[in-house]
């Protein structure tokens, strides 16, 4: 026996779909319409993680030392990469959330940070090529 459109099956299915769709919608204050800003934030996250990976390789291999005094004691430990990835995620999430409040400031900060981390990653790669 097939349920009709007014039957319980279709009502339950419609309710579940609408509930899931409401859960999957991104709130308006978290939406970023600009593709450029999305890419900048994703690249910033990737650069911070790349810096952590290369720094971990250099320090544990004895080819270099960490320049950040806050992270100096953690480099080489098991938790360093987890801390670096968590910090990168929190920074990019903070910039993502604050973008709608002040888009120009967030974009400027993200681009400057991206330039800074690009220079650091290139420096680390240069050290890797020279020493290894």
Give 35-56 pLDDT, tens digit per residue.
Answer: 899 999 999 999 999 999 998 8
For the CA atoms of 130, 73, 93, 100, the dihedral, rounded to the nearest 10 degrees, stands at -90
Q: Is residue 12 part of a domain?
A: no
The three-state secondary structure class of 54 is helix
By the 10 Å C-beta count (0-12 exposed, 13-18 middle, 19+ buried), 55 is classed as buried
The whole domain housing 102 covers 32-131
Asked if residue 107 is part of any domain, the answer here is: yes
Is there a domain that residue 84 lies in? Answer: yes
The total number of structural domains that make up the chain: 1
Q: In the predicted model, what is the mean pLDDT of residues 70-82?
A: 82
Q: What's residue 78's pLDDT?
A: 82
Residue 2 lies in a domain: no
On whether residue 16 sits in a domain, the answer given is no
Q: Is residue 60 part of a domain?
A: yes
The band of 17, judged by pLDDT with boundaries at 50, 70 and 90, is low
Q: Does the pLDDT value for residue 1 go beyond 50?
A: no
Q: Residue 32 — very low, low, confident or very high, per pLDDT cuts 50/70/90?
A: confident
- Is residue 8 assigned to a domain? no
């Amino acid at each position: 026996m097939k349920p009709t459109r007014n039957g319980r099956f279709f009502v339950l299915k419609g309710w579940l779909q609408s509930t899931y769709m409401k859960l999957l919608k991104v709130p308006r204050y978290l939406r970023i319409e600009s593709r450029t800003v999305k890419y900048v934030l994703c690249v910033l996250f990737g650069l911070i993680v790349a810096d952590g990976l290369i720094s971990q390789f250099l320090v544990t291999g004895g080819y270099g030392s960490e320049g950040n005094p806050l992270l100096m004691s953690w480099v080489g430990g098991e938790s360093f990469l987890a801390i670096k990835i968590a910090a990168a995620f929190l920074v990019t999430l903070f910039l993502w959330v604050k973008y709608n409040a002040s888009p120009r400031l967030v974009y400027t900060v993200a681009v400057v940070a991206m330039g800074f981390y690009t220079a650091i990653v290139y420096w680390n790669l240069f050290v890797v090529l020279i020493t290894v």
